[in-house]
Amino acid sequence: MSESLLARLGAAALLAAAPAAAADNPLLAPWSGSHGGVPPFDAVRVEHFRPALEAAMAAKLAEIEAIAAREDLPTFDNTVAAFERAGATLDRVTAIYSVFAGTMSTPELREVEREMAPKQAALDDAITQNERLFARLEAVYAARETSGLTAEQQRLTWLHTTNFIRAGAKLDAAGKKRMSEINQRLAELYTSFRQNVLADETGWVLWLDEGDLAGLPESERSAAAAAAAERGQPKRFAILNTRSSMEPFLASSARRDLREKVWRAYYGRGDNGDAHDNNGLIREILRLRAERAKLLGFATHAHWRLERAMAKTPERAMELLEAVWAPAVARAREEVADMQAIADAEAATAGTAPITIEPWDYRFYAEKVRRAKYDLDADQLKPYLQLERLREGMFHVAGELFGFRFTPATGIPVAHPDVRVWEVADRESGRPVGLWYFDPYARTGKRSGAWMATYRRQQRLDGEVTTIVSNNSNFAKGGPGEPVLVSWDDAETLFHEFGHALHGLSSRVTYPTLAGTAVARDYVEFPSQLLEHWLSTPEVLGKFATHVGTGEPIPTALVERLERAANFNQGFATVEYLASALVDMKLHLAGDAEIDPDAFERETLAALGMPREIVMRHRTPHFSHVFSSDSYSAGYYSYLWADTLTADAWEAFTAAGGAWDRAMAKRLVEHVFSVGNTVDPAEGYRAFRGRDAGIEALMRDRGFPLPGAAAD
């Protein structure tokens, strides 16, 4: 191994420590047991992570150096395929490490994260800056069209080669050194940002007594009681600083003063001028991203990020965002007027001073408008939305559209007793497909929100390897034996994240780098957003939306009212999302300008004409999508881009015979869900749909006027 490579990571120390670290460390052993091996969650302790990561990193460096040091002619097999095989131990270690960091965080683990994040970044740089390895990749890439490679092999070669270039492989020595310094510092900043948000989420609780519960339905009272009991206050009630606790409270609590407290705590995460304030971190992150983009020859970080996205340029992404912004704001102002009218009427009837709708009032009065306009109450729906029945509904959709069968698995180690595991198989042939882990409940040390994770990617490089995926949520756990009831929005999120899981489970590719959800950022949300549509189908609602008390299916009349209200509050939902997407993009188009995040957010929204009654879905100081990694940076627009495809694809189903059309489902699996990143996403979508998607279906789906059309 070259001295420069060793020095860059301090790899000599890692290699020396590797044999000792490997002894009795369960993280470093190949996964054993059924289903091709499973993560040994039950054997892992926090103290295993640091030595396991160091040993696995050293092992990957040695494997990479062995490829780079070869003196034979570079071929796909001895270079690209070998590169695919490198780092298998590290992949296993980081899979478990990520689960603990995201769902089982402790002070000790957060210390490990802070220490290891820059080392992991340095490892990535040591690999992409390995000149001999890059030369071999380039040689294979140059001969890709004349060396008999399959289309999948050609795409993999292109992907790895361009990844190296985008990471700085062609920079001079000084540029490479600076690139590595930037990436290591960013890794530290991302870790601090993420941990600050978690600290503000777990460190704040609104404690309530019986007299503070006015307006809360029984399901929310029960959840708040369970949360309090878990925190050692069995006679009180707790509202947590998470979206799944905040949103239903703001929608139902009759206590305006308490709504404001909950709202300010949630939207103030990372923005309190204390030790967990993220504004300084954001400033430095933006500066470093801008510098890195310039090093790589891009005008801004946004241009670098979108080069290989479907949108290709920030300008195209902004064009879509801005096309939807004006009609969304207009609809939101109509919604506010409806809410204000109800608030004024209530004040007149009660003889009290009128109020002006504030952000902490929006959800509360929106529910009143929904009842008045559509005779639909969120509390009417909730008794029919049981978490476990919805999970069964998701399995039904997976069976009908994808041919999957889910069976409870036994004897599989889990990271927490709340986690359950299912075997997934082809229901006709019985062929194993993979494992699905479900972790639905909030707990201390678990980050908020909902997400899908991949523990092991599907591949066929050296024989069939099935995938392991998980879905994670943050529902408040009810009392012993009590069914957990969720909101309609949370039910949609369940189906959304399950769509990501099905994307991973459906993968049928050869090389792990191309498997499952490893696609362009503005394409990955398309399969998940599309799956949301099956929740509202009569078959799913009729079979699985059953009353928690009586077991009766949801009444047809209630479903009809739900359908009539499908676009209710669409102004709010679209504006709060678009505000986040626009601020994200504008922050990263600002280049190396010195930015005060709070001021930038405030001034940008004012210039856009943001309704004062709405805030960004993710305010900048806790915008984890954007500032806890590069993942969605300059990429939060992706949800709208993907929803353009989603609306168009759903119209294809409805035109072809409905949601359960088998031929259309087969095309969807064949061209979208199963191909991973083996084809360009635009080509994959055209193969499914027969053409590109336009914006018209999106506007129809949201009930907005078409571009250029006169408003009613």
CA 543 – CA 561 distance, rounded (Å)? 18
Q: What is the pLDDT, as a whole number, of residue 531?
A: 98
The conformation of residue 536, written as its DSSP 8-state character, comes to G
CA 336 – CA 364 distance, rounded (Å)? 12
Beta bridge partners of 257: none
Beta bridge partners of 422: 408, 436
Q: Give residue 20's pLDDT band: very low, low, confident or very high (50, 70, 90).
A: low
Q: How far is CA 325 from CA 469, 566, 665, in A?
A: 35, 19, 32
CA 371 – CA 384 distance, rounded (Å)? 17
CA 140 – CA 144 distance, rounded (Å)? 6
Q: What is the pLDDT, as a whole number, of residue 711?
A: 44
User: Over pLDDT 90: what percentage of the chain?
Assistant: 93
Q: Give residue 1's pLDDT band: very low, low, confident or very high (50, 70, 90).
A: very low
> HSE of 641 in the Cβ direction (CA atoms, 13 Å)?
28
CB 201 within 8 A of CB 241: yes
Q: Which of 442-446, 479-483, 581-585, 706-710 shows the lowest per-residue confidence on average (mean pLDDT)? A: 706-710
Cα–Cα–Cα angle for 682, 687, 689, rounded to 5 degrees: 90
CA 385 – CA 392 distance, rounded (Å)? 12
Q: Give residue 14's pLDDT band: very low, low, confident or very high (50, 70, 90).
A: low
Domain ranges of the chain: 3-170, 204-255
Question: What are the φ and ψ backbone dihedral angles of 578, each rounded to 5 degrees?
Answer: -60, -35
Q: Which of 282, 276, 104, 109 is nearest to 199 (CA)?
A: 276
Amino acid identity for residue 259 in this structure = R
Residue positions annotated with a catalytic role: 497
CA 465 – CA 150 distance, rounded (Å)? 20
- Mean pLDDT (whole number) for 667-693: 97
- Mean pLDDT (whole number) for 158-169: 98
CB 12 within 8 A of CB 18: no
- Residue 182 corresponds to which tokens in the numbers above? 């930037």
Length of the chain: 712
pLDDT digit string, tens, across residues 301-311: 999 999 999 99
CB 501 within 8 A of CB 452: yes
pLDDT digit string, tens, across residues 214-258: 999 998 999 999 999 999 999 999 999 999 899 999 999 999 999
Question: What are the φ and ψ backbone dihedral angles of 56, each rounded to 5 degrees?
Answer: -70, -35
- Residue 436 corresponds to which tokens in the numbers above? 């699905």
Q: Which of 443, 394, 447 is nearest to 422 (CA)?
A: 394
Sign of the CA dihedral running 403, 407, 409, 414: positive
The conformation of residue 463, written as its DSSP 8-state character, comes to B
Q: What is the pLDDT, as a whole number, of residue 706?
A: 84
Q: Which of 67, 70, 69 is nearest to 85 (CA)?
A: 67
Pairing of strands 467-475, 432-441: parallel
Residue 68 has pLDDT above 60, yes or no: yes
CA 465 – CA 70 distance, rounded (Å)? 28
Mean pLDDT of the chain: 95
Residue 484 has pLDDT above 60, yes or no: yes
CB 443 within 8 A of CB 105: no
- Mean pLDDT (whole number) for 574-592: 97
CB 192 within 8 A of CB 270: no
CA 21 – CA 17 distance, rounded (Å)? 6
Q: What is the pLDDT, as a whole number, of residue 22?
A: 62
Q: Give residue 478's pLDDT band: very low, low, confident or very high (50, 70, 90).
A: confident
pLDDT digit string, tens, across residues 174-218: 999 999 999 999 999 999 999 999 999 999 999 999 999 999 999
Question: What are the φ and ψ backbone dihedral angles of 548, each rounded to 5 degrees?
Answer: -65, -30
Which residue is associated with the tokens 């168009």?
648
Beta bridge partners of 471: 438, 452
Residues of 489-523 as b/e, b for ≥16 C-beta within 10 angstroms? bbbbbbbbbbbbbbbbbbbbbbbbbbbbbbbbbbb
> HSE of 274 in the Cβ direction (CA atoms, 13 Å)?
10
Q: What is the pLDDT, as a whole number, of residue 564?
A: 94
CA 598 – CA 192 distance, rounded (Å)? 18
Q: Which of 58, 43, 46 is nearest to 112 (CA)?
A: 46
Residue 2 has pLDDT above 50, yes or no: no
pLDDT digit string, tens, across residues 608-657: 999 999 999 999 999 999 999 999 999 999 999 999 999 999 999 999 98
Q: Give residue 494's pLDDT band: very low, low, confident or very high (50, 70, 90).
A: very high
- 3-170 has which CATH code? 1.10.1370.40
